[in-house]
Amino acid sequence: MRTRYALVLFLVFSYCFGPAAMAHSQQSSTEVRRKVVRRVDPTYPEAAKRLNLGGTVRVLAVVATDGNVKAVEPVGGSPLLVQAAQDAVGRWKFVPAAAESKELIELHFHSE
């Protein structure tokens, strides 16, 4: 019983006081194949702040051979957060490559 209680307390504290709870947004590009040279943080939308809305947005970035993002398409996430994610990823810069690529990117938004 004590072990369960300690585990629950640990999980609650790590969730509440972990680094993700302190940031407005956090990028995670777990499925990105090309290295990111420059990341731009998304602007947390005021409407999402007022609603205390957080969540994950997934976008598909089409990256040109020179590393610039040509297009960003939403794959999933809250409509209030999608535009902010698209705007930010559209300004990212990747390492140049021999061919154009598509990169699946997840952005995590957390309200304060």
- 67-97 pLDDT tens trace: 999 999 999 999 999 999 999 999 999 999 9
How do the domains of the chain map onto residue ranges? 23-109
**Where is 2: in which H helix or E strand?**
helix 2-17
CA atoms of 106 and 3, how far apart (whole Å): 34
Q: How many CB atoms lie within 10 A of CB 74?
A: 15
Residue pair 59/74 in contact (Cβ under 8 Å)? The answer is yes
pTM: 0.70
CA dihedral 73, 46, 50, 60 (to 10 degrees): 10
The CATH T-level fold of domain 23-109 is TolA/TonB C-terminal domain (3.30.2420)
pLDDT tens-place string over residues 9-39: 444 444 433 333 333 334 444 455 899 999 9
